[in-house]
Each structure stands twice: as C-alpha cells, then as structure tokens.
Amino acid sequence: METKVFKSNEVAAAAKLIAAGELVAFPTETVYGLGADATNVAAVKQVYVAKGRPSDNPLIVHVADVATVERFAQPLSAAAQKLIKAFWPGPLTMIFNLQPGALAPEVTGGLTTAAFRNPNNEATLNLIREAHTPIVGPSANTSGKPSPTTAEHVLHDLNGKIAGILDDGATQVGVESTVLDMSGDQPAILRPGAVTAEAIEAVIGETVLTEQHHVGATEVPKAPGMKYKHYAPNAQVYIVDQPTDWPAALKWAASQSVPMGVMATDDILLNNQLPANCEQFSLGTDVKSASRELFAGLRHFDTETEIKDILCSAFENKGLGAAYMNRLNKSAGQTHFSV
C-alpha cells in the first residue's frame, strides 16, 4: 500500500479515504492520531492491525461537535456540559456511558463506555466534518513506541500500512490529552495531560480523583495508556530526578564504553560539560517545551541505533509536569538514575 501525505488544504481527499473505510493519520494539538470511521467495524479492526495494538485497549472517538457525542452517549451531566464549554476544542478527552449498542465493542474494548474528544486542530475538524463520521484516533505509531508529533514520525512507523497522513506540521502540546472518566459517581483522571485536575475542579466545583492511572493484568482498561507498555524507545531511559544529580549522571555516562543520549533543558546542557561519548537533545527551557519535545527526543535517539541508554530530565510531578512524568516514567519503565 502506498501511504499518501496530504497537506492541510487537501482535507477533502483525505476525508474520502476515511469515508471509504481506509486509515488516515491526522494531526491534533497533542499528537498525531490514526483515524478510521468509528462506525465502520472493519475499518476499526484495521487500526489494531496497523498499530499492533491489543484489542482490549479502547479507542478515543474524535468528534467535530457536541451533537455527535449526544448521538452515542447517555444524556450529558451538567458537569460534563460545563467542561465541554470550558475546554473543547482542546486536549481533554471525556469518558461517558453509552446508549445500548451505540458503538461496536471494537471501539470500546467491550465496555459500555467510550471516550470522546473534540481536538483543537482545524484541519482535523474539517476532516471529520467532510468524512461525515466521527473517527477513532489512537496515536499513529507502532503500539508501545513513543507517540508521533510530526507526520514524519507517522511515516516512519506506518508507511505502507495506512492509506494516508494529513500533515499539519509539528504538534504544539506534545503529550496526549487528559482522559477524564465522567461515567461514575466522581470524576477521575485516568491519564494526565495538559488540562489539569485543578483546572477541571475550578470549572465543576468538585474534587477530581487523580491516582487512577493503572489497571491489573486481567482488567479491561477504560482509557489508553493504563495497562500496556507505552512510549518506549529502543534504548533504556534513565530518569535524572534533580538538576543537582546531573554531574554524577554525566560522570557515569562518561565511564560507559558506548555512545549515550542526553535529554535535558537548556540550562542543564549549558551548565554541565557533556562527555565526548554523549549526544544531546534539548528539551527547551521549561516543562511546557519539554512536554512538546519529549517524544521527538526519544524518537531522535531511536534513529541513532548505537545509543543504548538515554539520560532524561525529570520535572516536578504537578500541573503539566504530571503528564510529562507519566509519559517519561512509562518510557523508562520507572527506571531512575541512582547517584
């Protein structure tokens, strides 16, 4: 299969492929998603095949308007309506109870709930409108690998496996959307993202559960990223917890007989002498830029096949830092550099 790359002014051609049951990757403000008609079971099944994704890992349904959510979900609560008004379009995914039989089990992982998102990207909103259907959209990468933040990343993983890619440049946020479960008695964040618990609580006036990110081996996850290995490059990632730990980390790196990768903010890169065997990748100046560049950095070192270990800066686990650390911990397998 030839994977065609469409520019943002070629949405109509990409939409025709979606409508015909083909797979087309699309941009959002967070990462690139792998799109298929959410009402076409055969197309949805091909998403799992193309990614190598476990079939019990549910998919997020991307919509262009609230009316589409209301076609499939149980009546939206007052709190959900407030959150939609405050954060859509944007990096907030919400899980709702479904009307019976509204979506196929291939979309929901066999659950009676589904996750919905209204992405903040005009090209993709136009894609959904012109395809006349909501589209599923897991990250457009090989399952378990770092999520794609450019069309080039998608092409690297899925070239020849999907019909097309809608290219709208690099994404702005860089880590996937916040996933908020609105199907139970109390809102719960199942995956942290750019929309924080504090921001959600300020809108709805109630406490949001935040330590809900994992499920057991025999449980079906309600959202992506809760159960399976995610975001891992070929190299082993070591998290450097504090800026003061970097001299020791770099001394250890210098003692290794192989090339090493270093992902850190500009101040750390400027204030520490990198050993000759280390290649650097800048995470910018703060947690916002680091979140945007994290997956790009991990993918960069995947192309440097001789690099087997990567040292990467941590951030405080709050606000956007909670999303960054969630992804970094998973990419590292919870492995931290020990002084």
Binding site for L-threonine, by residue number, is: 30, 62, 117, 177
- Binding site, annotated residues for ATP: 53, 57, 113, 139, 147, 191, 231
Q: What angle do CA 90, 91, 93 make, to 5 degrees?
A: 105
Going from the C-alpha of 21 to that of each of 44, 55, 70, 164, the distances in angstroms are: 9, 19, 23, 12
Tell which residue, 33, 29, 25, has the closest CA to residue 4.
25
- Could you list the residues known to form a binding site, using ranges: 30, 53, 57, 62, 113, 117, 139, 147, 177, 191, 231
Smallest CA-to-CA distance from 327 within 309, 315, 311, 339 is with 315
Backbone angles phi, psi at 81, to 5 degrees: -65, -35
Six token digits for residue 16? 């025709």
CA distances from 96 to 55, 185, 312 (A): 20, 12, 36
CA distances (Å), origin 88, targets 52, 207, 237: 30, 20, 34
CB count, 10 Å around CB of 329? 18
Q: ω into residue 275 within 30 of 0, thus cis?
A: no
CA distance 55 to 236: 27
Structure token digits, residue 249: 């980390």
